């Protein structure tokens, strides 16, 4: 499995043509306590960088962008029921949705962990 990051602070873990998407620890730290998530509908197709969801905290609301073009195959119902999972485990149990990628070559435009760390350290 490969892990990538976007400039908008989403992470995407790729396993074959299916990937899991969530927000990074950096995004979670910036948002504060997450109180609501809006997840996409299963079966809906999104283009890369299209808004696929929303995360709201006590401080702000932020869009969740689709890291790669594809179809949503599953959403994290546990996160919908308990948005605080995005705080306690943003890179694990706090995942947002799974997507079947239709343009895997778009992964080349994303960052690896070293590049993402450099981006967030500079912020």
Burial class (CB in 10 A: 0-12, 13-18, 19+), 60: exposed
Q: Residue 46: its pLDDT value, please?
A: 98
**CA 119 from chain center: how many Å?**
17
Q: What residues have CB less than 8 Å from 120, skipping those under 6 apart?
A: 24, 26
pTM over 0.85: yes
Q: What tokens does 79 get?
A: 């996160």
Nearest 5°: CA angle at 70, between 52 and 112?
Answer: 85
Q: Are 75 and 59 in contact (CB under 8 A)?
A: no
**Which fold does the domain 2-113 belong to in CATH?**
OB fold (Dihydrolipoamide Acetyltransferase, E2P) (2.40.50)
**Tens-digit pLDDT string for the chain (123 aa):** 799 999 999 999 999 999 999 999 999 999 999 999 999 999 999 999 999 999 999 989 999 999 999 999 999 999 999 999 999 999 999 999 999 999 999 999 999 999 999 999 987
Q: What tokens does 20 get?
A: 């899991």
10 Å Cβ neighbour count for 33?
13
Residue extents of the structural domains in the chain: 2-113
């Amino acid at each position: 499995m490969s892990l990538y990051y976007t400039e908008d602070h989403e992470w995407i873990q790729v396993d074959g043509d299916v990937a899991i998407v969530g927000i990074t620890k950096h995004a979670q730290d910036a948002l504060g306590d997450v109180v609501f998530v809006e997840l996409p509908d299963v079966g809906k197709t999104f283009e890369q960088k299209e808004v696929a969801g929303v995360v709201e905290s006590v401080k702000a609301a932020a869009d969740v962008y689709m890291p790669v073009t594809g179809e949503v195959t599953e959403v994290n119902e546990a996160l919908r029921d308990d948005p605080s999972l995005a705080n306690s485990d943003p890179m694990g149990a706090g995942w947002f949705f799974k997507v079947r990628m239709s343009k895997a070559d778009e992964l080349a435009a994303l960052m690896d962990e070293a590049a993402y760390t450099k981006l967030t350290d500079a912020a």
